[in-house]
Every structure is written in structure tokens, then in C-alpha cells.
A = this chain, B = another copy of it.
Amino acid sequence: MPVVPTVFFLSDYGSDDEFVGVVHAVIAARAPATRIIDLTHHVPPFDVRAGSHTLRRSVPHLGGGVVLGVVDPGVGTARRGIALEVPRPDGATLFFVGPDNGLLLAAAEAVGEAPVGSAVELRRVAPAPGRGVTFDGRDLFAPAAAALSAGAALASVGDPVAPQSLVRLAGGVVEQGRLADGRRCLRAEVTWVDRFGNLQLAATVADARVADLPAAGRVELAVPAEGDREWQDAGGMPRALVPDGVHLRRVDAFGDLEHGELGLLVDANGHLAVVAREASAAHWLNLMAGELLTLAW
């Protein structure tokens, strides 16, 4: 099969403005043979963490190429622009280009389940006369992504930096423990609410804690005991939890549920997810990304 040079592009640029189209045009002008695949441009504005999760979920399905990721509240400041190079298990190479703010690192490490070996700081180019420095997606990152997709070596777009110096985001919270009533519980951060209202949790099937969950039947949602709300921000396990009467049925598919029933399944990314049938579990439970949710059984 012929290899088509590819840029996989994610941002928080949205679709109301011409930002995405102009970046496409810049890449097309510099690397005419490159195909651009838009992963999504609707990362919530400035939400580096959400963008990082999205890239992390996407990388297992990308071939070789360049991931261009731009969620960049620090554009124009001293934060670095970086490019990373990681080998894929199939022998292809995947580059990552974007700001050094944690957006790219977890995804890059996930490609080969290994630390990133090669990283450079992009050489800043002077903006065109009379233009500001607020659009590095267009002026800095797109040219670098175009060059790498067209075969340029990593060293040609920047100067080496120590991979250990790259900004790293904290991982999603996953904890286990016991309720006041003695039942086991798993507490996990909601890392993603998708279009359909499914609540993806930080816990994956690779977590030993998930293996302890009953494979069938029901688990219960737990909430902090009265007078013990401070745990919500504490990062550790709550001192006391009580069941709140909401049960989730273990299922494999949305359609295994009845209408009006909540379920718990392993989703297509291998994460636990709280779901409903043709309805939004997020609306139902009034939860959003970043909140903590506790399962008890």
C-alpha cells in the first residue's frame, strides 16, 4: 500500500471561525501531498486536560504521521513549542507537534507504552510584519507539522530538549477502598462526557481494581456521608461514603439496557463508562468531566 503523508489535527479552535481552514491551507501550501485528518476541533476552549485525554484515546487508531495538537492558552508567552518523535509498534513513526503544556505527552507515551526518547523545542519564526503572536497554530506549529509530514527530520525543526523537562499533567484519579458499610468501592474521575452523555471514567480494564468489579449484576453509586464533603477536593479516598440508591447494571452494550435504566460497561477505549439507553447518563446524574464518582458493590 502506498503511504500517504498524514497530519492528524486536534484543537480547541471550534468550527465557527476560519482557524482550522487556515491551518489546513498553510499545511497544504507547504506539503501538498499531505492529507489532513481532523480528530476534533471542539476540545473545550483552553481545556488542555480534555485535549490530552482525547489524543490519548485516539493514538491506538492512528497510523504513522504527525499529530498536530493545539490547545494553547499560553500562546505568545515563554511556553515552549515542541515536537516529539515516537516509534510505533508497527515500525512507523508518529510525531507530535504543539505546545509544551501537557497536551501531547501522555498520548506520545501511549504509542509504544514507553517514555518519549526524542524531543525538540521548535525554533520560533518571526511573525509577518504587523501581525501579532496569537496564532502559533498557523505560524509555528503548522509549518513544523507540514515539514515533518513531508519527511523532514526532527532535528531540522528545533533544538533538542530533555524529555524529562516536558510538562506533564497529573493522571486521572482512580482509587479503591471500602464504604462505611463494609462494601468495596472504586472511586474514579470522570475524564470524558461524550456527545451522547456517556461518562467515561479514568479506570480501565487494565486496572486491577476494575477486575474486582462483578462481571454481571449491579453496582451502586455512593456519595460522601453527611458532613464529609471535603473529600471531593482532597484527591484521596473519602473517609465515609454512603450508598445513594442509584444502581448501574453491568452490560456490554447500550441496547442491553431498558429505557430509563443506567448501566456500567467497558467502552470501546477499554475504560469503564456509566451509560444509559438512547439517553444522557450525564444529564441524568448531573455530572461532568473532572468530577469524582464512586462505585460500590
- Residues of A with Cβ closer than 8 Å to B? 1-4, 6, 8, 10, 12-22, 24-26, 28-29, 32-33, 35, 37-42, 45-46, 54, 57-58, 60-63, 73-77, 79, 127-128, 130-135, 138-139, 192, 194-196, 204-206, 252-256, 265-270, 273, 277-278
A142 to chain B, nearest CB (A): 9
What 12 additional pairs, Cβ within 8 angstroms, besides A16-B42, A132-B273? A2-B32, A2-B33, A13-B195, A15-B42, A18-B57, A76-B252, A77-B256, A130-B266, A131-B266, A132-B270, A134-B253, A139-B268
Instruction: Say whether B278 contacts A46, CB under 8 Å.
Output: yes
**Chain B neighbourhood of A192, CB < 8 A:** 17
Q: Which residue of B lies closest to A131 (CB)?
A: B270
**Once the chains are docked, how many angstroms separate the CA of A13 from the CA of B40?**
11
**Once the chains are docked, how many angstroms separate the CA of A39 from the CA of B20?**
7
Most buried by B among A22, A74, A195: A22
**Once the chains are docked, how many angstroms separate the CA of A37 from the CA of B29?**
11
Instruction: Say whether B256 contacts A17, CB under 8 Å.
Output: no
A74 to chain B, nearest CB (A): 5
Q: Which residue of B lies closest to A272 (CB)?
A: B132
**Number of copies of this kind of chain in the complex:** 3
Instruction: Say whether A3 contacts B32, CB under 8 Å.
Output: yes
**Chain B neighbourhood of A60, CB < 8 A:** 128
From B41, B46, B62, B266, A15 is in contact (CB under 8 Å) with B41
Instruction: Say whether B61 contacts A132, CB under 8 Å.
Output: no
From B8, B10, B133, B253, A268 is in contact (CB under 8 Å) with B133
**Once the chains are docked, how many angstroms separate the CA of A24 from the CA of B37?**
7
Q: Which residue of B lies closest to A42 (CB)?
A: B16
Instruction: Say whether B58 contacts A40, CB under 8 Å.
Output: no
A150 to chain B, nearest CB (A): 9
Q: Which residue of B lies closest to A194 (CB)?
A: B17
A73 to chain B, nearest CB (A): 5
**Once the chains are docked, how many angstroms separate the CA of A130 from the CA of B270?**
5
With A8-B25, A14-B195, A16-B194 as contacts: A256 and B37 at CB distance below 8 Å: no
Instruction: Say whether B195 contacts A133, CB under 8 Å.
Output: no
**Chain B neighbourhood of A6, CB < 8 A:** 28
From B2, B17, B77, B139, A253 is in contact (CB under 8 Å) with B77
